[in-house]
Amino acid sequence: MAALRRSDDQAAQEREFAHLRALMVDRHVAARGVKDPRILQAMREVPRHLFVPSVVAAKAYGPGALPIGSKQTISQPFIVGHMIELLELTGSEKVLEIGTGTGYQAVVLSKLCGKVFSIERLNDLALRAVEIVRALNIHNITIKVFDGTYGWSDQALFDRIIVAAAAPEVPEPLLQQLKRTGKLVIPIGTEGSQRLARVTRVGTSWQVEDCGTAEFVPLVGRFGWKE
């Protein structure tokens, strides 16, 4: 009887979280301009509260960025949806993500493309992300600890590259690891003054579009900001 009650409680809690996620998507993602129904659905499904530290779990479905430890943050839900929309995924792509953080964005991506390769510079964050990805039974994400400004040469070329930390400029290795007609989305600038750039490879050159303001932690590495 007690076991039955516990699973009833659990089911009720799952329903509550699903409800909060639906509200988050309506109010903080769709209402701010993200339109792709596949992205909105993926964000309705991924249990964001499992990715954030328990002290901020109550705010997991709010509009803001949240601290995740090691002086890093998980991005606001709108920015995650917006950046993924800029990638124009069709479902089969091989995607490189720089800045795994909690793994939340990697998991949203994993539902919208073929394979995700994600690089995190900080061991503790990467380990935790690997654990959550495993617990969720997701098999198309590979995470490694490295300086992501070098890209992932063993796995290149990529159809898409998404960078979740702000760089002084687009790291050259990332441009080299992008397929012809590939797309790369990256925040460029200093803390407090960043623009989101979408770079599209057109044969041997690149076209850059300005896609609005951004607010990310710094991309620290050989082709990023120095420590």
The residue among 75 and 94 lying less far from ligand SAH, judged by its C-beta, is 75
- d(CA 59, CA 12) in angstroms, rounded, equals 19
- d(CA 156, CA 95) in angstroms, rounded, equals 10
Q: Among residues 7, 54, 75, 118, which one is catalytic?
A: 75
Shortest Cβ 45–ligand SAH spacing (Å): 15
- d(CA 46, CA 50) in angstroms, rounded, equals 9
Q: What is the dihedral of CA 53, 58, 64, 70, to 10 degrees?
A: -10
Residues in CB range of 63: below 8 A, 6 or more apart = 24, 27, 28, 76, 77, 78
The residue among 98 and 116 lying less far from ligand SAH, judged by its C-beta, is 98
7 is catalytic: no
The residue among 99 and 182 lying less far from ligand SAH, judged by its C-beta, is 99
CB-CB contact of 100 with 119 (8 Å): yes
The residue among 152 and 182 lying less far from ligand SAH, judged by its C-beta, is 152
Shortest Cβ 225–ligand SAH spacing (Å): 8
Shortest Cβ 202–ligand SAH spacing (Å): 26
Shortest Cβ 208–ligand SAH spacing (Å): 21
- First vs last C-alpha separation in the chain: 56
The residue among 6 and 78 lying less far from ligand SAH, judged by its C-beta, is 78
CB-CB contact of 122 with 221 (8 Å): no
**What are the residues binding ligand SAH (CB under 6 A)?**
72-75, 98-99, 101-102, 104-105, 119-122, 125, 147-149, 164-165, 217, 219-221, 224
Shortest Cβ 156–ligand SAH spacing (Å): 16
DSSP 8-33: HHHHHHHHHHHHHHHHHIIIIIITTT
**Residues marked as catalytic:** 75
